[in-house]
Structure 1
Amino acid sequence: MNSKKNFNVKVHKSEVVAAVLPMQEHWLPLSNLDLLLPPLEVGVMFCYLNPIIVSEKINMNLEFNSIVKILKTSLAETLVSYYAFSGDIVENSAGELEILCNNGGVSFIEAFGAVELKEINFYNPDESIEGKFVPKKKHGVLAIQVTQLKCGGIIVGCTFDHRVADAYSANLFLVSWSELAQSKPLSQLPSFRRSSFFPRHPGYYDDSIDDLYVPLSTLPPMKSEILNPNDQVISRIYYVTGGKIEHLQSLANCHDDQKGTSQRSKLESFSAFLWKTIACGINKETWGFNNFRFGIMVDGRTRLIINNVDKSLKGYFGNVLSIPFGEKKVEEVKEKSLNWVANVIHEFLDIAKTQEHFLGLTDWVEAHRPKPSMAKIYAMNGDGPAVVVSSGQHFPAKKINFGWGEPAFWSYHFPWAGKAGYVMPMPSPKGNGDWIVYMHLLKWQIELIEASPYEVFKPVTANYLNLI
């Protein structure tokens, strides 16, 4: 079955859905860790088979209008608990941002796509997803689009402001929304307890924080660059078989002469292969740079729960992220073994695996406020490429069931404007150990990955997803 390149998605209705209960207008400060995030919009989508066919087994009459009603009603209920998503970002008197919790509501769009689910080219989301199924956020901090397809399938797309929530927080919201859609009690209530991330007095942070984050005011002016077709940034979605992941892990753990070291994880092994694959295609004379930065996002919630005392952190809504990274010579990454590269990744990840790292990062931001800061891996100035991997292995996609079955496919969609690459591996809907991998990289990096003789990354197709 060939994918359909040109198809229209027509918006039928656009409205605002607010929390079903009135709330007192108030301001919710962004935490110090929230303040590290630039104004980025993150998209996510869930694709469902025709609900009428799926629901025949349970004798339900789910026309599209009924589906929309269920989604809007349960969304209004969910926003009572997740009131930050029904607010807006405003600037306070100090020039810093905070959330105005005014129940301004969420943009909710109903649309129709003149395409069947099996005809969508998921491999190339720039062509098939961008501007079609994941909405552009025009106001507030969250936008939702529900699209009915020609085959009766449904796509639910969401776009949220990263300054308000990280992926973990968005996942909490999505699971809660689907639970209320099925009239189930919430399995986890969100916590907006900002005191969990108050700075210490006196504050303290290790020098390693200065290696990972930088105040914007200290960055040199950006170099003027000659436009190059290879500077184009594109998105692709692949799958990697569980067998390939296990093979990479075995390679990353072989010839390890460091006695007593723990086994390299699948994520460390995958990341080492990706770093090495791109580096091996770089010609120093052609590209003109020597170094290559590679980082991995770390969620600090588990690092901050001491003896399970502060259980509110399990449901903490906000950003609890750090991006440790390594910077190596391109030639060194090329020549060394996968095991060596995996060990480098393991070492720089160790920096962010402690409670003290996140407490220190909070204190570091406090010491530099109100000047804005950012992760140093993104502060490139023509000195080489950078790629960040964000682990989505705990992405609870199968739980995003609104009453008509689990999604047949899912993916994040994060086409941001920066040149630093972004890679998000997630579990495959097959549940067989395969990974779905969303990549947003420079065009030449994608070309190097696809030219790799190891054939690790395979384009996601309708055939792979069993949609045909």
Structure 2
Amino acid sequence: MVRIQTSRLVKPLYDDDGGSIPPPTSDSIPLNIFDKVTYNTHMAVLYAYRPPTPSNATIELALRKVLATYRVMAGQLGENQKGNPVILLNDRGVKFVEAVVHDTFDKFLPLEMSPLLLDFHPELKHAEEITLVQLTRFGCGSLVLGYSSHHHVADAFSASNFLVAWGRAARGLELGSVPSMDRSIFWPRVPPEFGFDHVGVEYKKTKSLSGRIVDRDRFAGSDIVNHKVHFTLDFIGKLKARASTGRPNGVAAYSTFVSLVAHLWRAITKARGLSPIETTSVRISVNGRTRLSLDPPVPPDFYGNLVLWAFPTARAKELVSRADGLRGEDNPRRDCARGRCLLQVVHRLRVAGGGGGGGGDLVPTADMGKAALWPDLEVDSWLRFPFYELDFGGGSPFIFMPSYYPTEGMMFLLPSFLGDGSVDAVVPLFRQNSAVFKQICYSLD
């Protein structure tokens, strides 16, 4: 189906004018606390473009230009002389793969969230590069871009800015603001001061049984089905109105994100058939760039990871036992079902100097190796990131989506390509729970 034509490393282009001197390749950037605590894996996304599209050579040249500014994306993960994790600025390069499919792209539509999506990416297992790219051309002239970058180097906010800059380079435009990669703003306080307990949130103990133990035998052999659910602007409006019923005058309605997460949390809890006394949590990734009280503040163009995690929790019966579970002001637990606590807990999170690094017997709680988050969930919202602005000169993509992640309970929210305010949600569930979820995912009851 997908036939690989070429595979090579694409390096930064520094000598564009014939006079610049390439920087040394022995430098490195230490990982900050947020880099260390996030997922130790590549995150992959897909773009699809209708013809006409620029040539592979044009896209490759633009990549080389943008890598001269975003050097970390052409480096490697490694260690310094003290054994601390760093990003090696060695200009190893980006793995750049060119592939073809003789059929027309329409034969693949709609793109299902299945393992077949992995054919549009370079092999990620044992990948030594931070960034990997595959350009797949179809017989009709359509182009699919498979993009993967290591999460230790950049979160979704930073990755989206890199991608937008790549498109600007392809169109002959200035890249925009220069990214700030100064990790020194997160150096620990001396002496270390711990303001919050991070064990059980960002970190877990390796020599203990801390955290929830999931009955793996229950799910042995279970298939994971990735649902892509489209929520229209009209549905979102009705959901937000219902969620916000009873709020005091002058208080803003709940956001699209809060309302949808509360709705999905409730629907998935029903579909899973959790015991009424079962406790379920939602792990929420929150952009911390404007939420940290630092002096000086975090630069708005800080490049790296700066994600805070919120963990609202409720019992299953408090989410699903009443038809008006999205309303009411008298029950703080029901507020959690409706979404109020989803963002309140964010204010409890702040950087605690010396609290990271995985010292002793602590390791990050982030683990993409899990097959199931049941009975919990995780949600990554890409609603406010400019992923759709990746324009190489032929226009914006008509499809943008995460690649295939077979982790039950890990959801993604992204703006629909329709551009009308509607939202697509990627919801992976076990097959035995899928039928119920499809029946109730659009219900407001």
Question: TM-score w.r.t. structure 1 length?
Answer: 0.82
Change (3 A) 1:338 1:378: farther
Q: Identify the range of structure 1 (11-20 vs 387-396) with the bigger mean alpha-carbon deviation.
A: 387-396
Change (3 A) 1:232 1:134: same
Paired with 1:74 and 1:431, the residues of 2 have a C-alpha distance of: 26
Q: Look up the match of 1:5.
A: none
Task: Write out per-residue CA displacement over residues 44-83 of structure 1, whole angstroms, 9 at most, x where no aligned residue.
Answer: 111110116xxxxxxxxx5xxxx11111111111111111
- The letter of the residue matching 1:315 is D
Task: Tell me the CA shift for residue 35 of structure 1.
Answer: 0.8
Matched, 1:145 2:134: yes
Contact 1:19 1:86 in 2 (8 A): yes
Task: Tell me the CA shift for residue 378 of structure 1.
Answer: 8.6
**SS at 2:193's partner residue?**
coil
- Residue 333 of structure 1: which of 319, 325, 331 is its match? 319
Q: Look up the match of 1:263.
A: 253
- Residue 178 of structure 1: which of 167, 171, 178 is its match? 167
Contact 2:115 2:404 in 1 (8 A): no
- Residue 149 of structure 2: which of 141, 146, 160 is its match? 160
Q: Look up the match of 1:422.
A: 410
Contact 2:39 2:368 in 1 (8 A): no
Contact 1:17 1:108 in 2 (8 A): yes
Paired with 1:183 and 1:405, the residues of 2 have a C-alpha distance of: 14
Q: Look up the match of 2:233.
A: 242
Q: Look up the match of 1:18.
A: 11
Matched, 1:133 2:103: no
Change (3 A) 1:42 1:440: farther
Change (3 A) 1:155 1:41: same
Paired with 1:342 and 1:15, the residues of 2 have a C-alpha distance of: 54
Task: Write out per-residue CA displacement over residues 297-336 of structure 1, whole angstroms, 9 at most, x where no aligned residue.
Answer: 10101223779x64x6211111101221122221221124
Matched, 1:369 2:359: yes
Task: Write out per-residue CA displacement over residues 364-422 of structure 1, whole angstroms, 9 at most, x where no aligned residue.
Answer: 215x5365432489999999511111111112133210011111111122516x55x22
Q: Look up the match of 2:376.
A: 386
Q: Look up the match of 1:318.
A: 304
Q: Look up the match of 2:270.
A: 280
Change (3 A) 1:440 1:384: closer
Change (3 A) 1:223 1:118: closer
Contact 1:27 1:98 in 2 (8 A): yes
Paired with 2:153 and 2:418, the residues of 1 have a C-alpha distance of: 31
Paired with 2:402 and 2:334, the residues of 1 have a C-alpha distance of: 25
Q: Look up the match of 1:88.
A: 76
Task: Write out per-residue CA displacement over residues 132-173 of structure 1, whole angstroms, 9 at most, x where no aligned residue.
Answer: 213333321110001111211011110111111111111111
Which structure 1 residue ranges, 5 or more long, are not aligned?
1-7, 53-61, 457-468
Paired with 1:140 and 1:127, the residues of 2 have a C-alpha distance of: 22
Paired with 2:173 and 2:306, the residues of 1 have a C-alpha distance of: 28
- Structural mapping, 1:177-196, within 5 Å: 177-196=166-185
Change (3 A) 1:376 1:319: closer
- The letter of the residue matching 1:105 is G
Q: Look up the match of 1:359.
A: 351
Q: Look up the match of 1:232.
A: 223
Kindly report the root-mean-square deviation, in angstroms, between the aligned alpha carbons of the 2 structures: 3.1
Paired with 2:237 and 2:171, the residues of 1 have a C-alpha distance of: 37
Matched, 1:405 2:395: yes
Question: TM-score w.r.t. structure 2 length?
Answer: 0.85
Task: Tell me the CA shift for residue 37 of structure 1.
Answer: 1.7
- The letter of the residue matching 1:313 is P
Task: Tell me the CA shift for residue 194 of structure 1.
Answer: 0.4
Contact 2:271 2:434 in 1 (8 A): no
Task: Tell me the CA shift for residue 223 of structure 1.
Answer: 6.8
Number of residue pairs the alignment of both structures matches = 424
Q: Identify the range of structure 1 (117-126 vs 106-115) with the bigger mean alpha-carbon deviation.
A: 117-126
Paired with 1:250 and 1:218, the residues of 2 have a C-alpha distance of: 47
Contact 1:9 1:111 in 2 (8 A): yes
Change (3 A) 1:430 1:452: same
- Structural mapping, 1:24-63, within 5 Å: 24=24, 25-51=26-52, 62=54
Paired with 2:87 and 2:292, the residues of 1 have a C-alpha distance of: 24
Paired with 2:160 and 2:234, the residues of 1 have a C-alpha distance of: 27
Task: Tell me the CA shift for residue 431 of structure 1.
Answer: 1.1
Paired with 1:342 and 1:274, the residues of 2 have a C-alpha distance of: 15
Contact 2:277 2:317 in 1 (8 A): no
Task: Tell me the CA shift for residue 445 of structure 1.
Answer: 4.5
Q: Look up the match of 1:59.
A: none
> By percentage of residues, which structure has more helix?
1
Contact 1:230 1:444 in 2 (8 A): no
Paired with 2:202 and 2:369, the residues of 1 have a C-alpha distance of: 9
Q: Look up the match of 2:19.
A: none
Q: Look up the match of 2:158.
A: 169
**SS at 2:120's partner residue?**
coil
